[in-house]
Amino acid sequence: MLSRRALHPQDAKPIVWPQVARSSGRVELGAPGSAAQIAELSRQLSEMRAAHQTELAHLRESAFQDGLRQGREEAANAIRDAAQKVSSTLAELMGFKRKLRLDAEREIVKLSLAIAHRILNRELATDPDAIEGVVHAALAKLQTRDVWQIRVAPAAAAVAQACIDRAGLTAAVKVNADPALQPGDLLVDTAAGELDASVNTQLQEIERGFAERLALR
């Protein structure tokens, strides 16, 4: 500690310590050791610490809220993106399911018609009388209007003639055995032109009809 010593007693003077003064929120040092001064300094220090803690808590809360808000936004965006992907995937699955169903239906139609084609051709090849139903269906469709000739394979000519006779059209309709035709073939000549009433042609018409209906679904 600094001190001064007078060489002569008459030169000794009292030491004046600076006083603690408080002006405009500032603390000025005065005489040390005052309990009031120490208390004031402690109070101000406590206030500063409290203010610092309050500001720190505010910053932490603000940072937490910002992080929470950002997290919610990111979660909402992620959920929205996931929902869009799920929706798109479901749409693709529905389209794929529909395509599979249509493809399966087409294959079933083709298989059914192929089986029918094989069965009918075998029946017509082994049983010439089977052509009778084809002739009868063709005459019924045309209602015998302006029919002047029907052409069939030679093996089916007798059956076709018998069908014409039963219909009472012997004088008006001629049966022509055409060696170029196969069993099941039936060509009807009318005043308006030729009608192909063959079994294979009718099966093809049925297949086209099914294909058109499936295409509209």
Residue ranges and CATH numbers for the domains of the chain are 107-215 (3.30.2320.30)
**Conformation bin of residue 8: beta by default, left when phi > 0, alpha when psi is -120 to 50:** beta
Q: Is 196 helix (H, G, I), strand (E, B) or coil?
A: strand
Alpha-carbon gap, residue 36 to 53, rounded angstroms: 25
Find where tokens 């479901």 sit.
Answer: 90
pLDDT tens figures, 9-20: 555 555 554 554
Q: Quick one: pLDDT at residue 10?
A: 55
Share above pLDDT 90 across residues of the chain, in percent, rounded to a whole number: 1
Closest CA to 182 of 119, 125, 139, 133: 125
Closest CA to 120 of 202, 211, 52: 202
Confidence of residue 191 (pLDDT cuts 50, 70, 90): confident
pLDDT tens figures, 92-139: 888 887 788 878 877 887 888 788 777 777 777 667 677 778 887 777
Give ∠ CA 166-195-124 in degrees, rounded to 5: 60
Mean pLDDT over 189-217 rounds to 79
Mean pLDDT over 208-213 rounds to 77
Share above pLDDT 70 across residues of the chain, in percent, rounded to a whole number: 80
Alpha-carbon gap, residue 207 to 113, rounded angstroms: 7
CA 24 to chain centre: 74
- What's at 189, amino acid-wise? D
Q: Is 151 helix (H, G, I), strand (E, B) or coil?
A: strand
Q: Quick one: pLDDT at residue 14?
A: 55
Where is pLDDT greater, at 11 or 200?
A: 200
Name the average pLDDT for the chain: 77
Lowest mean pLDDT across 9-18, 62-71, 164-173, 176-185:
9-18
- What's at 198, amino acid-wise? S
Closest CA to 132 of 113, 112, 150: 150
Mean pLDDT over 198-212 rounds to 80
- Residue 108 — φ and ψ, nearest 5°? -65, -45
User: Is 80 exceeded by the pLDDT of residue 197?
Assistant: yes
